[in-house]
Amino acid sequence: MDANKRQRYEKISIELTGLVGGKDNIQGVAHCATRLRIVLKNNDLADLKAIEDVDLAKGVFVAGDQVQIIFGAGLVNDVYEVFAGYNNMKNMSLSDLKTEANKKMNPLQRMIKALSDVFVDIMPGILAAALLTGLSGVLGNFAFVKASDTLYGINKLINISSGAIFGFLPLAVAYSACKRFGGRPILGIVMGCIMLSDSLANAYSAAQGTVEVTTLHIFGMGVDLVGFQGGIIVALLMGFVTAKLDIFFERKVPEVIRLLISPLLTTLVGALLLFTVIGPAGRGLSSGITNGLVWMTQNLGVVGYAVFSGLQQLVVITGLHHIFGAIEAQLLADTGRNFINPLMSVAIIAQGGAVLGYLLRHKENVKTKELCIPSFISVLFGITEPALFGINIRYKFPIIGGCIGGALGGIVAYFTDLAALGFGTTVLPGIALADPAGNGYLNYVIAHAVAITGGFAMTLVLGKFMDKTEEAAVSRGTAQGTSFSDSGNGGEAQESLPEAPGEEIFWGYTDGRQIAMEDVPDETFANKVLGDGVAAIPETGKVYAPADGTIISVFDTKHAVCFASKYGTEILIHIGVDTVNLQGKYFTAHVKDGDTVKQGQLLVEFEKEQIEKAGYATAIPMIFTDLPEGKRLEPSAPGKMAKDTKAAIIRKG
């Protein structure tokens, strides 16, 4: 990560930490493909409205246990790295985060989250199988492929590869579920192997009556020796049961024989439960889910399709959409076709159409373009969170327009009998999964065209009556974890601050020589990426408060302090260039987050000579990170700096 980006992400981290209630309110932090996920002790302390306006953030929402901030694919990794480091949570594992999060979740939320975690681990394999299935289907339609021995052979290998992955999917699910619930993953694999054993009659053949099924009698119960091919629900249940058995026997078996006896008992008891209880119950549950979905298509017809695709993205908001992966897998195993995938896909692209509609209405607004264009690109690859939480839900009427567009796309999917041969990917990549039967690829394109057009048009229509977006400028301060805002039209701050005088003086913050920001030996500071300010070349290793105010935060590495004056003006004092790499070595902080300080009070001491010997420049910029509108900075002329000399003045006008 280059210095410019790191400095920008440090500023985001400082601001974000204050807006979520300060470091003491953060229990854990992690990230997924698009979202920074923060577990807080008290979600009520988070200023969600203010977080929406944080630099690079595309939206924010609370999902049960977590405050989730949308940054987008790729970017979220870098923001997480700096934010987690700033809050000293970089070494926190995902399981640690889940432990903290689960304390705040209800049983339903825990179940859905656990189900999501199981499929996240094995999703690369599922995607590979799905795309290979689609590729094989496409190639199989071309006469020149059939006529060429080589191309036909390659396509056959592709088909075998995709079939093998789906064929052993229950094993992968059992492995991932066992791992997720705290068991040893290898025991999940063992249980998956038992489920797919060659000693059992193939489940598909048994269902067709083409193979003889052996029945055992155990404790008076008839146990059919039938495999669990396609038994995704059974595999989920067995992964959970195996994990709990493993944990139980590891605790109960004496240590001297534990290595031999514990896995033996786990496997033996697990296998008995598989064939006598879990298997039959799981098969019944699977049949119920599949039959229910098939019933919906046969009895509710076009209405069922339209309702599902119209409301599916509302389900995404709740996080319950993760359960669809298991249902789709079971639907494919039972029927060979997945009608849910294209319905989700048209629901997604319709929200993209809503984003374009909102963009057209606000095409002159630069911030809108920054939000809408990347969000729409994400939608094209099946990721709607930036669009949903950054625009559509935030401004209300686009989400309605997108839902209507999704319903229209679902109607087309119904009348064209559109379905997929896999699951796990949608929109542009999803076309590879479409069932080619009955002009499936063309119908896929038509359904998506109708959905995006519907979302776009309905957003424009609804916008005429519902678009009340305020474009007022917003400025904030976060002293002591409290957010201050000024709407720019006379609105009152959330917490009163003393009225700022005509000019606010910031005094020398170190003993040395004041220089212009442009002379700091770092492009980020010199180009004022983080804001305008002043700088100094220190003669001693001390940094003082430049005014009366409050410490917002002290970096864990102690090389930087974020400070707010008593009038709410925010500054960042950064000691040295790239000194974050020293990880706190040579720095001693004399204040902590939330401290009230007086002008001239010692904030940080540092070993200037040692830092210079380590190869780091010791210039100290003082940056005004969020100068309110209507105020300007007047730096003092370069020259001597001390606690009794003026470094800068903030004036009105």
Active site residues: 32, 574
Strand partners, 504: 650
- Residue 634 CB neighbours (<10 A): 11
In eight-state DSSP terms, residue 544 is E
Rounded distance between C-alpha atoms, residue 568 and residue 625, angstroms: 12
What b/e readout covers 488-520, taking b as 16+ CB neighbours within 10 angstroms?
eeeeeeeeebeebeeebebbbbbbbebbebeeb
Token pair listed for 317: 């908001």
Token pair listed for 35: 């979202």
Q: In what order do the strands lie in the sheet with 602-606?
A: 542-544, 602-606, 587-589
3-state helix, strand, coil in the chain (%, to 5): 55, 15, 30
Query: Residue 589 — φ and ψ, nearest 5°?
Result: -90, 140
Rounded distance between C-alpha atoms, residue 10 and residue 19, angstroms: 14
What b/e readout covers 425-460, taking b as 16+ CB neighbours within 10 angstroms?
bbbebbbbbbbbeeebbebbebbbebbbbbbbbbbb
Give the number of residues written for the chain.
Answer: 653
Which position has the token pair 């987008």? 72
Question: Closest by alpha carbon to 567, among 503, 512, 517?
Answer: 503
Q: Which residues contact 347 (CB under 8 A, 6 or more apart)?
A: 309, 310, 312, 313, 402, 403, 406, 409, 410, 451
Determine contact, residues 313/348, Cβ cutoff 8 Å: yes
